[in-house]
A and B are shown apart, each in its own frame.
Chain A
Amino acid sequence: MIMPAGKPLLLPANPRFIALTLVLALLLQMWVNLWGQRWMPDLMQAVLAFWLVYQPRRVGLILAFVLGLLMDVHEAALLGQNALAYVVMGFVAGLLHRRVLWFPLREQPLQVAPMFVLVAVIEWIARLWHSGMWPHWSQLLAPVLQTALWPLVAALLLTPQRRPYERDDIRPL
């Protein structure tokens, strides 16, 4: 495998760290939901998408499905609505991940934007079928904001993998 020149070699991701960030994202999303704003980005989706793209061997479709079910119950939405959206996201992430990883962080949002839009569209269709309501225009903002958050989320979640391979007590960071 040829690495692009000048990129740092990353440590393997810690499965416990992945689990922790997913639980934290779920908590944060529940907290964000309390404000009741429709344009708020789905942070759970952003973090899950990151792991689906960066660690497809550890975070797969089944986990996405389960997390989607949790969100459904929390939002008192139709059971399976978020699950379907997350599973579609997982599949698209699987198709995209090799391509996305060749781009630097600041160019990745453009690559993942269609995925977030597709997921939003699937959620809208599910709601349209279930309750016959068209989306409010402000909901168009959510996928845009998720895309905008991508570099931030990625940079944050990659930090533990950027530590030196051999721990140096004199320079701990």
Chain B
Amino acid sequence: MALETLDHSPPPFFRQGLPAALRFALLSLMAIGLMVADHRLQVVMPVRASIATLLTPLQWASLQPGRAWDALEQSVRDMQQAQDTVDEYQVRSIAQAQKLQQIEYLLQENRQLRELLALRPTVDRSAQAAQILYDTSDGYVQRLIIDKGQVAGIRSGAVVIDTSGLVGQVTRVHPLVSEVTRLTDREQSTPVMNARTGERFVAFGESASAGERLELRFVPASADMRQGDLLITSGLDGIYPPGLHVGQIVLVDRRVNSSFARVLAAPVSREQGRHLLVLQPLRDPLSQAAQSVQAEQGRAP
């Protein structure tokens, strides 16, 4: 209570509840416990999910000024620019039409060849469009929040793409929203393949001050890698579909004193616009891991 406040009740002299220092110690311990639990044990998901659901209306409200501004901006944007965009897209769609027709033909041919060779057919996976709600922005984590969650059938591990390429992976699913970890997050790794040579690597996120980059680790110094090579997903993991564009190599640094080359790539997805596509994983990566653990435990005497 402020010193000079006119209040109706006197301050409590005797019954003050727990001492402030004890309350402070308890709550700090609780916070630290939560941090450890979140970091090491992954057991606080329900808490997080319920808080996220509680926050959804507030988040919606906080997005409204920006949306209103966008709408205003869009309504007064230059007609010419809109026309240019339309022209550009028309040119692009003509260029793609030919490719599309070829793809139809190739798909047909591929199916026949697979049948001839008695290979298993590739599986179509279900996809859902989602909208970016906001970008979590602290320079430490590279995450996006999208407007689809458990209710819409999003599963943890789903792959997220946009028109230009792979954006990331769904890492946390709340009832109404989900968190997408970008490729460039420090804790994200993506199985990739060099489209030119077919060699497979793992790309790790690296969001340093130099910008958002992917680092290919454990690339032998003798590997055939050139600046400008396209990286695509290999599709061997059963989570990422094969052939999604991931990045382009910007730096290959071969050092004398190391048997590995330092290879950096720039992500190709530009994340323009608000819309993303969420591709459901073919199988649940977590339940699969759990099954394999159970199987191993079953095998152990």
Contacts and interface: CB of A to CB of B under 8 A. Distances in A.
Interface of A: 1, 3-4, 7-13, 23, 26-28, 30-31, 33-38, 54-57, 60-62, 65, 68-70, 73-81, 83-84, 87-88, 90-91, 94, 98, 101-102, 126-127, 130-131, 133, 136, 139, 161, 165
B11 interface: yes
Contact of A78 (B7, B28, B39, B51): B39
B81 interface: no
B38 A78 contact: yes
Contacts of B62: 27-28, 30-31, 34
B136 A76 contact: yes
Contact of A9 (B6, B32, B47, B66): B6
Of the four ranges (under 10, 10 to 19, 20 to 34, 35 or more), the interface on chain B belongs to: 35 or more
A48 B54 CA distance: 20
Given A69-B34, A87-B28, A133-B139, 15 more contacts: A10-B5, A30-B59, A33-B137, A36-B135, A55-B2, A61-B23, A73-B51, A78-B35, A80-B32, A80-B34, A81-B31, A88-B24, A91-B20, A94-B20, A133-B140
Contacts of A36: 135, 137
Nearest to A127: B140
B27 interface: yes
Given A12-B5, A73-B52, A79 B35 contact: yes
B195 interface: no
Contacts of B118: none
B179 interface: yes
Contacts of B34: 69, 79-80, 83
Nearest to A29: B62
Interface in B9-34: 11-12, 20-21, 23-24, 27-28, 30-34
A68 B138 CA distance: 16
Contacts of A88: 24, 28
A80 B31 contact: yes
B200 to A, nearest CB: 27
Contacts of B63: 31, 34
A87 B28 CA distance: 7
A33 B23 CA distance: 30
A16 B80 CA distance: 51
Q: Which 3 A-B pairs have CB atoms at the shortest separation, nearest pair first?
A: A36-B137, A80-B34, A30-B62
A73 B30 contact: no
Contacts of B4: 3-4, 7-10
B143 interface: yes
Nearest to A26: B58
B135 to A, nearest CB: 6
B1 A11 contact: no
Contacts of B61: 27
Contacts of A101: 2-3
B20 A73 contact: no
Contacts of B21: 91
Contacts of B66: 31, 34
B238 to A, nearest CB: 26
B298 interface: no
A161 B7 CA distance: 11
Contacts of B24: 61, 87-88, 90-91, 94
A136 B209 contact: yes
A27 to B, nearest CB: 5
A77 B187 CA distance: 13
Contacts of A8: 4
B113 interface: no
